[in-house]
Amino acid sequence: MNHRSYMSELRSHRLTYNIRLSALLVGATLICSGCSPIKSYVDPQFRDATYQSIRNTASPTRVTVSVEFQVNGKPQKRQHDIVYRRVTRVLTATRLFTEVSSDKASESGQLRIVINNVADVGAAFGKGFATGLTFGLAGSQVTDGYIMTAIYTPLGGVPTTREYKHAIHSTVGLRSAPEGLVAVPLADAFDQIVEDMLLNYLRDLQNDHIL
């Protein structure tokens, strides 16, 4: 992917995610146009494995990869391709899996990744509305939870299913940052949680001698 295509994709993802989060904080964004911008923070408690945690392998496992993105359990088809590219970027960097085309699925294993964004829309709306009414003097914090379900089926073998959780905390108005955390752009926060969950998963597959 060239630089121009990557930046276009990044802007598209940032816009999609900002629109969704802005909808949750509609009171703050519509009533209080002068409030502080939304700031996002990656929850550190789920950041366990790193690329250094993954052992090198001389022969990557051939798999077909399928990815689905959900919000509160409902598939969001327009975001599937974006999330798919995030997932395969991490898989390529670790060199544990090599993706094959779907027409060769019968000759390879299968890896299915489902990422579900669990958001309390009602509570988020109420918090954002209160922030808007006070013109930003009362800050709000919203937490987007994420659950990744990963199913790996080796060629001729049985499926192994694992589940991993993560979270992004976002603030608006005069709300202090979560202790010890540094604000990052929304798109970067999402990229980080996808990377964190996948690295935890791949490390566990190796430790359990599944890979």
DSSP 8-state secondary structure symbol assigned to residue 173: S
Question: Residue 120 — φ and ψ, nearest 5°?
Answer: -90, 90
Q: How many domains does the chain have?
A: 1
Q: Is the pLDDT score of 24 beyond 90?
A: no
Query: How high is the pLDDT of residue 143?
Result: 82
Query: How high is the pLDDT of residue 138?
Result: 52
Range of the domain at 36: 3-207
User: Contact at 8 Å (CB) between 86 and 193?
Assistant: no
Q: At 57, is the pLDDT very low, low, confident or very high (cuts 50, 70, 90)?
A: confident
Q: At 30, is the pLDDT very low, low, confident or very high (cuts 50, 70, 90)?
A: very low
How far apart are the C-alpha atoms of 14 and 21, rounded to whole Å? 10
Query: How high is the pLDDT of residue 105?
Result: 67
Q: Is the pLDDT score of 111 beyond 80?
A: yes
**Cα–chain-centroid distance for residue 67?**
12
> What ranges in 40-185 are assigned the alpha helix state H?
77-94, 121-133
How far apart are the C-alpha atoms of 13 and 187, rounded to whole Å? 7
Instruction: Give tens-digit pLDDT for 135-192.
Output: 444 567 778 889 999 999 999 899 999 999 999 888 876 666 677 788 888 889 999 9
Q: What is the DSSP string of 11-55?
A: HHHHHHHHHHHHHHTHIIIII-TTSPPPEEEE-GGG----GGGSP
Tell me the β-bridge partners of 112. Answer: 66, 151
Nearest partner of 171 among 161, 162, 163, 182, judged by Cα: 182
Lowest mean pLDDT among 26-30, 94-98, 199-203: 26-30
CATH number at residue 77: 3.30.160.150
User: Contact at 8 Å (CB) between 82 and 11?
Assistant: no
| Burial track 126-154 (b if 16+ CB lie within 10 A, e otherwise) | ebbbebbebebeebbbbbbebbbbbebbb
